[in-house]
């Protein structure tokens, strides 16, 4: 089999590459990345081919179509910094590139499994369902919603091809350190505390997130590949947890007793509360999250500790 992973040098993409190589040891895995938020160190030691290029560049896709014939495309590449306000850039990279992915997949006859986001829901009251409350608060969420709509129309026009969107909630885990300020709060707070600093939270730490461990996000991708179901699906734990709770978990695991330092939120497009309704994912993908926040943090912390010199 031949797999293309866009954004494969990034956080979720590189974890997915590792699992594909483990599950399909004879497969050819090709990574497409522009290394704007990914890092070569996420791929060191992995037997993959790398194509360096811009997702939104048609010439890149023309070259891929000439050189390869993929069985599946895992489209993870995107601008992942939700605070970016350059609307043209966000829409071109995230939304317009979706059309190029689908055009190539049509030529290959390939399955497409792509990364959408809980950002499409904005501040819709949770639990968030795939078929309602699509009111993004920022251009990042709007770009992902546009991707979903492009994919939905394509799937209607080409029912013979699988097109599956995965709306990730707040993913955390190994290999996210190169994301900088867009890395998960799990990593950012853990690093602050490991360096002897109080964890910094927006007032008053009561905002809630559906924190999902990257191993569950990868699992959802592989289930989508195996089940062959088109549509869009939430990927989370189905349980929202507050940032204050996250600090408590980190204190417990690190043996510390830091009190949060609260400060004003500088953004006017901030999501206050996210929680995934997993009914559809459970029924059609057989997706069941395996990692609670407590278990995920415990599994992740040995990796985080190695980042602190």
Catalytic residues: 140, 179
β-bridge partners, 2:
28
The answer to whether the CB of 84 falls within 8 A of the CB of 90 is yes
Residue 74 and residue 13 in contact, taking contact as beta carbons nearer than 8 Å: yes
Are 120 and 134 in contact by the 8 Å Cβ rule? The answer is yes
- Report the alpha-carbon distance of residue 72 to residue 62 in Å, rounded: 17
Tokens of 209: 């997130």
Q: Give bridge partners of residue 51 from the DSSP assignment.
A: 32
Q: Which of 276, 263, 265 minimizes the C-alpha distance to 236?
A: 276
Cis peptide before 73 (omega within 30 of 0): no
């Amino acid at each position: 089999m031949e797999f293309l992973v866009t954004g494969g040098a990034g956080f979720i993409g590189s974890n997915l590459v590792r699992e594909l190589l483990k599950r399909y040891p004879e497969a050819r895995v090709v990574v497409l990345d522009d290394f704007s938020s990914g890092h070569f160190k996420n791929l060191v030691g992995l037997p993959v081919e790398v194509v360096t290029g811009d997702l939104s560049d048609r010439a890149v896709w023309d070259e891929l179509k000439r050189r390869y014939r993929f069985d599946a495309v895992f489209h993870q590449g995107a601008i992942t910094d939700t605070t970016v306000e350059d609307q043209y850039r966000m829409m071109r990279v995230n939304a317009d590139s979706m059309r190029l992915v689908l055009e190539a997949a049509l030529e290959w006859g390939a399955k497409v499994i792509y990364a959408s986001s809980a950002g499409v829901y904005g501040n819709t009251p949770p639990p968030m369902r795939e078929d309602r409350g699509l009111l993004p608060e920022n251009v990042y969420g709007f770009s992902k919603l546009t991707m979903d709509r492009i994919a939905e129309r394509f799937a209607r026009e080409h029912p013979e091809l699988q097109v599956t969107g995965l709306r990730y909630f707040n993913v955390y885990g190994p290999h996210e350190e190169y994301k900088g300020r867009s890395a998960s709060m799990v990593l950012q707070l853990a690093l602050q505390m490991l360096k002897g600093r109080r964890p910094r939270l927006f007032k008053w730490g009561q905002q809630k997130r559906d924190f999902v461990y990257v191993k569950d996000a990868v699992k959802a991708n592989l289930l989508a590949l195996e089940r062959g179901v088109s549509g869009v699906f939430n990927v989370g734990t189905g349980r929202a947890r507050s940032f204050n709770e996250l600090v408590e978990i980190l204190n417990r695991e690190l043996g510390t007793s830091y009190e949060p330092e609260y400060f004003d939120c500088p953004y006017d497009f901030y999501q206050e509360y996210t929680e995934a309704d997993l009914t559809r994912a459970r029924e059609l993908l057989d997706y069941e999250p395996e990692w609670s926040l407590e278990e995920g943090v415990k599994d992740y912390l040995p990796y985080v500790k190695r980042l602190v010199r």
